[in-house]
Structure 1
Amino acid sequence: DGSDEPGTAACAGRPGADERWFYCPNSAGTPRYVYSSRVGDGICDCCDGSDEWQLPGTCQDLCEEQGRARKARLEQRRAEMERGIRKRQAALADAEAEVKEWTGKLAVLEAEEAELLKSLQARQEIQRQKRAAVVKEAEQAGREVAPDLAPESKKVSEYAKWMEKGDSASEEAGASSSEQVCSDKVCIARAAVARRELRQIKVKSGALVDFVEFVYASGEPSVVGEGKGEEQEPFDLEPGEVLVEIRGAQGGLLDRIQFVTSRGRESKAYGGSGGDSFSFKASDGKMIVGLRRAVGLAGRVTGMEEALFRPLTPAEKELEDAMGLVQEAERGLSAKAASMQELQGKIELAAGAHAAYQSLNECGTAQLGQYNYKICPFGEATQGHVRLGRWKGWASDARHVGLFDNGERCFSGIVRSLRVQFECGEKHVVETVREPSQCVYEATMTHPAACDPRDFEESDRVLQPHEGHVEL
């Protein structure tokens, strides 16, 4: 098996010989192993020259010189690590204090949520009684109950929808209970909503219609759309005037929109040209009080919100007021639940195995070769203007390794990804970046949160054949 020739390369070709190592004592330097195939090859792999003992005079003993240099490197590295450890310990102490503070706030929010829930239940009971009176009144008058004052069996609590699905549930539920109407090639949903008095419409547009804002006599305005269009002259409604028609054009995006009132007044046509034309009018006895649009830049119109136009009876007015109080309580509960969810997320991160990274959350940068690199834990990693990936999470197979995925596609179609090994350091610095396979990147980055006092214990170990020097 070659064990009779531990100091020579005589058995290098035998099976198993590649696993045989030669030990370099390297007195005054760093002991290490080298592959036995490198012994007696005329190249000085051991700083004391012991691997070339068959060729006397070939190697000088450089161990003392290398030992001094290594000691200086270790002392510098140790000082950096100690500063990094102090930063890490301070960050963990801050995280512990924050967790304590957040836990206290969470307890307060939970108590407030319980009180709000009691208030909501009381308001719902009043609403149920008022609605029963409206239904009875409608039956006696021989008319249908207005959709926005519909019986409870047809309505779902906004708070319940939020708790089950999140903020988007309200829009989804509204769209599912609405009626679809079409104008030529354009079809949208027509939904019944609570009564609101529309006072003004504001638009931001350019070649496309970006934002549309509905301003009411009371309550928060309704803003739909995304983009950076220019602010246009607003369209004001006169007292007693309501919106009864919307016109425009759209394809994948909203190209143009115009508003028409009950008195026949028309707003200017906002936006540009293009798209399929449409015209949607309010149902009989209804007024238009809002729009729904697709998510994204200049999203197309997907829905039209209508409310009852005729004067309300006293019973209907009482029900509308009761519904408003219920919706107010539901919004309060939804906001409280969102705050609790946010705090719980913070507590989980700050109390987890990588708590120090959260407290010391900074981006690392460097210019390596022709590229500027920026790696942001919990954010994005970039190479110049190219996104290498978005934060995915921590690797399960290694310590202090962060993963980024969903980067920009390469010309070959491969989606870029990045694996980052965080190493102990006082500052956040990207040290190396390489691309072992096409569009798959690996990097090392110094970070105080990676500083572990246990790493000092490895400073006196024997180097393995693949290692050139000690990296604490």
Structure 2
Amino acid sequence: MLTSFSISPCMGKVNSLSFLFVFSVLSNRFVISDNLTPRGVPLSRAALYDPQKDFSCLDGSKLIPFSMVNDDYCDCPDGSDEPGTSACSRGSFFCQNAGFVAGYIPSSRVNDHICDCCDGSDESGTVQCSNTCDELGRAAREEGERLAKLLKDGYQKRVEMASSGKEFRKSKDEEKAKLEVERQRLEIIKTEKERIKEEVEAPEKEALERYRLIEEEKQKLLNAAEEAKAASEAENMFILLDSNGDGKLTKDEIKTRQTFDKNKDGEVSDDEALFFLNMEEEMSKEDFLTTGWMMAKPFFLMDQGMFQPPIEDQEEEQEPSLMSGGQPITVTEAPLKELTEEEIQAQGDHVSYNAAGEKEIIPGVVEEQEEEEELYEEDGPASVEDVKVEESKYDEATQQLIDAAEKARSEFNEADKSVRDIVHQLEELNDVLNLDFGDDERFAPLHGQCFDFEDREYVYTLCPFKSATQKPRNGGGEVNLGKWGSWTGPEDNKYTEMFYDRGQNCWNGPNRSARVKIACGTENRLTGVSEPSRCEYQYEYISPAACSQPHHGHDEL
């Protein structure tokens, strides 16, 4: 019930001020309306604030006279008795905001000389607030219409993406089925090729085993012949050098042979003689046959120009140095004697010179040189390949077995490779089919695509379901920020965030990772990238696949 006031002229200025004061108090406590709803209270709660009754705190803790509501003193613990003042720290003020969005603000903002409600209802007294609700409402409606259109168009494209995604999965399923059939066919071929290979390899193995045994026996005979030849050669040389036939070699006997003049100064010194006797005064026949001849033989060959010591480095080649009595003995190679026609005809035997300079021919010492020369033709040496081919020849029947086995192995290897290739294709296909493209496959069309975003320093790339990378704009290597991990959005809408982990390691830090926030848009586009934490990146991405179905209805402003 609204109280009436009358002012007579005789009341004067004082009564006029009294009226203004009373009106101010009433306006601070009530919203001037038919039912006097207290200030700061929405119409939906008006029944709880009945001026004809005592007021019950909304938490039920107290019952106070209604005159104590909005008296700028907090009586209720929950602050419900002061909805229109700033007296209670826990209270809230309701902004009607006609033409815009109604809502609550904390009571502390009431009468703080700042207009918080667009209708200015939170401020009374000296502060005059402009009502901007219509303007804000119009802008909100325009934004709402834009978002509604975005949602509508985006959702339509999401439906199209979902349809494409289902077709994509269907095609991959069909491709997998075909590959499985082909794999089974190739497995059968491989099994058959393996059976054939094992069949033809068995007789080949037996034939090659026979040849191996024959070659081993032949090699044993050759080795025995070489050993006998070497022994005979050493025996003949010992007989030649043992001039007194006492079964041992002495320093004086060595010194009678010009062959042992290593430095070619015209005589064999004591040190040179001792070198060939293993630094002993004499050498037994047994020692000569086992070690002595091995030391002496190269010098006999050098006399004939047939010994060529191995050269490891032409530029750094040094003369060999031998030790005798703690002093180095340098071995030099003297100019070869020119052979007479008679000596040339005796090339198959070894020619040695005694202290008097007389030549001596020792039969059978260098027969191996003749064997090596047999490999040479008039126009040069035979090639190594020719020799190997000659050594690897088998009889016709064995060669046929080898050829058949080689062919079977080649065909099996080809069949095995075909199986491995198709198994690899199936593994890659299964990896794609195991990806979560959303409950309606709407994200599937993004597979195989990549999107870039450039800032002043870097080019960021997102390849959905594969990787996130970063590359300097001015050149440099690409940095892996993460590989596809999983969807990490909230439980009620997990398809709003992607997570890429296992990126390149940060120096003295963790492995890089990236989160992709996906918002509704009418196109698929990467719109921004930031690094909120060290080595942790955040991609902003829009896609129709993130647009939800529009609600058919409207909200009142």
Q: Smaller-chain TM-score range?
A: 0.5 to 0.7
Deviation for aligned residue 1:337? 1.6
Write the deviation string for residues 400-456 of structure 1: whole angstroms up to 9, x where unpaired.
1022345566676454433221100112344454443334333432212111215x5
Distance 1:373 1:332, change over 3 A: closer
Superposition pairs for residues 239-278 of structure 1, below 5 Å? Answer: none
Distance in 1 separating the partners of 2:186 and 2:171: 23
Q: Does 1:323 align with 2:409?
A: yes
**Secondary structure of 2:443's aligned partner:** helix
Equivalent residue letter for 2:205: V
Matched with 1:425 is 521
Superposition pairs for residues 121-140 of structure 1, below 5 Å? Answer: 121-140=191-210
Equivalent residue letter for 1:389: L
Equivalent residue letter for 1:337: V
Matched with 1:380 is 468
Distance in 2 separating the partners of 1:341 and 1:434: 35
Q: Does 1:26 align with 2:102?
A: no
**Secondary structure of 1:349's aligned partner:** coil
Matched with 1:235 is none
Deviation for aligned residue 1:69? 0.7
Deviation for aligned residue 1:335? 1.7
Task: In structure 1, list runs of 5 or more residues that go unmatched.
Answer: 146-261, 266-283, 287-307, 463-472
Aligned match of 1:67 in 137, 141, 154? 137
Write the deviation string for residues 363-415 of structure 1: whole angstroms up to 9, x where unpaired.
55556688765544333243754857234333334331022345566676454
Deviation for aligned residue 1:60? 1.8
* 8 Å Cα contact 2:481-2:514 kept in structure 1: yes
Deviation for aligned residue 1:6? 4.3
Matched with 1:102 is 172
Equivalent residue letter for 1:73: E
Deviation for aligned residue 1:65? 0.7
Distance in 2 separating the partners of 1:435 and 1:368: 13
**Secondary structure of 1:345's aligned partner:** helix
Matched with 1:452 is 548
Q: TM-score, normalised by structure 1?
A: 0.53
Matched with 2:114 is 43
Distance in 1 separating the partners of 2:556 and 2:479: 39
Deviation for aligned residue 1:459? 7.7
Distance in 2 separating the partners of 1:116 and 1:74: 61
Aligned match of 1:392 in 451, 476, 484? 484
Write the deviation string for residues 224-251 of structure 1: whole angstroms up to 9, x where unpaired.
xxxxxxxxxxxxxxxxxxxxxxxxxxxx
Residues 31-40 or 423-432, more deviating:
31-40
* 8 Å Cα contact 1:429-1:445 kept in structure 2: yes
* 8 Å Cα contact 1:94-1:359 kept in structure 2: yes
Task: In structure 2, list runs of 5 or more residues that go unmatched.
Answer: 1-76, 216-381
Structure showing greater Rg: 2
Matched with 1:3 is 79
Residues 343-352 or 70-79, more deviating:
343-352
**Secondary structure of 1:26's aligned partner:** coil
* Greater fraction strand: 1
Q: Does 1:77 align with 2:147?
A: yes
Equivalent residue letter for 2:95: C
Distance in 2 separating the partners of 1:81 and 1:359: 20
Deviation for aligned residue 1:130? 1.5
* 8 Å Cα contact 1:375-1:382 kept in structure 2: no
* 8 Å Cα contact 2:86-2:107 kept in structure 1: yes
Deviation for aligned residue 1:359? 0.5
Deviation for aligned residue 1:96? 1.3
Distance in 1 separating the partners of 2:556 and 2:442: 28
Distance 1:422 1:316, change over 3 A: same
Write the deviation string for residues 288-314 of structure 1: whole angstroms up to 9, x where unpaired.
xxxxxxxxxxxxxxxxxxxx9777832
Deviation for aligned residue 1:342? 2.8
Q: How many residue pairs are counted as aligned between the two chains?
A: 299
Equivalent residue letter for 2:185: E
Deviation for aligned residue 1:126? 1.3
* 8 Å Cα contact 1:381-1:388 kept in structure 2: yes
Deviation for aligned residue 1:129? 1.4
Distance in 2 separating the partners of 1:48 and 1:144: 113
Write the deviation string for residues 61-87 of structure 1: whole angstroms up to 9, x where unpaired.
211111111111121222222222222
* 8 Å Cα contact 2:521-2:543 kept in structure 1: yes
Distance in 1 separating the partners of 2:541 and 2:110: 36
* 8 Å Cα contact 1:365-1:428 kept in structure 2: no
Matched with 2:156 is 86
Write the deviation string for residues 117-157 of structure 1: whole angstroms up to 9, x where unpaired.
12211221111112221222233334499xxxxxxxxxxxx
Distance in 2 separating the partners of 1:375 and 1:111: 35
Distance in 2 separating the partners of 1:56 and 1:368: 51
Deviation for aligned residue 1:111? 1.7
Distance in 2 separating the partners of 1:388 and 1:331: 32
**Secondary structure of 1:117's aligned partner:** helix
Aligned match of 2:429 in 343, 347, 354? 343
User: Greater relative contact order: 1 or 2 (C-alpha under 8 angstroms, separation 6 or more)?
Assistant: 1
* 8 Å Cα contact 1:360-1:448 kept in structure 2: no
Equivalent residue letter for 2:151: M
Distance 1:360 1:85, change over 3 A: farther
**Secondary structure of 2:522's aligned partner:** coil
Equivalent residue letter for 1:27: A
Matched with 1:290 is none
Distance 1:71 1:383, change over 3 A: farther
Distance in 2 separating the partners of 1:326 and 1:350: 39
Distance in 2 separating the partners of 1:309 and 1:461: 98
CA RMSD of aligned residues (A): 3.9
Distance 1:121 1:137, change over 3 A: same
Equivalent residue letter for 1:333: V
Aligned match of 1:402 in 498, 501, 507? 498
Distance in 2 separating the partners of 1:49 and 1:387: 55
Distance in 1 separating the partners of 2:459 and 2:125: 48
* 8 Å Cα contact 1:116-1:329 kept in structure 2: yes
Identical counterparts, % of pairs = 26
Residues 77-86 or 426-435, more deviating:
426-435
Distance 1:120 1:108, change over 3 A: same
* Greater fraction helix: 2
Distance in 2 separating the partners of 1:29 and 1:383: 47
Distance in 1 separating the partners of 2:513 and 2:125: 49
Distance 1:48 1:439, change over 3 A: farther
